[in-house]
Amino acid sequence: MIRFIFLALFLFPVISFGQAATKDVEQLKQEILLLKTDVENIQINLSQSQNKFKGGILVATIGYTVTIAGGLMLGRKNDDLGKVLLVSGGVTGVTGTILMVDAFKYLGRAGKRKPK
């Protein structure tokens, strides 16, 4: 009889712990899946930011190069062309700079959770 009571007292905590461990494992799996989704979302946002930033750099570089070329033409034979290049290159350069700054919005999204 004492062995039966001892065995019952020993098995009861083991059985209840086993059920709690199953719940913990399921919760852990759910947390891992949420983290995996967050990491994938961050990678997508970083990729989009990188592409937009590279495009902005390209546009800004072309624009400021045209601005410099237009500035070099001022005061020479092609003064009117220099003025046009100066203005159009400046506008293009500013547009490229705006594109670069706009690329950072994807980085801001990377750390925010979507509302459920």
Q: Per-residue pLDDT averaged across 49-67, rounded?
A: 94
Position 65 confidence tier, pLDDT thresholds 50, 70, 90:
very high
Task: In whole angstroms, give the CA distance from residue 11 to residue 43.
Answer: 48
More confident call, 108 vs 97:
97
Task: In whole angstroms, give the CA distance from residue 104 to residue 50.
Answer: 9
As a whole number, the mean pLDDT across the chain is: 82
Q: What pLDDT, on a 0 to 100 scale, did the predictor assign at position 62?
A: 96
Q: What pLDDT, on a 0 to 100 scale, did the predictor assign at position 95?
A: 95
More confident call, 107 vs 63:
63
Environment class of 65 (CB within 10 Å of its CB; exposed 0-12, middle 13-18, buried 19+): middle
Cβ atoms of 103 and 53 within 8 Å: the answer is: yes
Tokens standing for 114?
Answer: 């979507």
In sequence order, what are the residues at sequence separation of 6 or more whose Cβ sits closer than 8 angstroms to the Cβ of residue 75? 82
More confident call, 59 vs 26:
59
- What's the predicted TM-score (pTM) here? 0.64
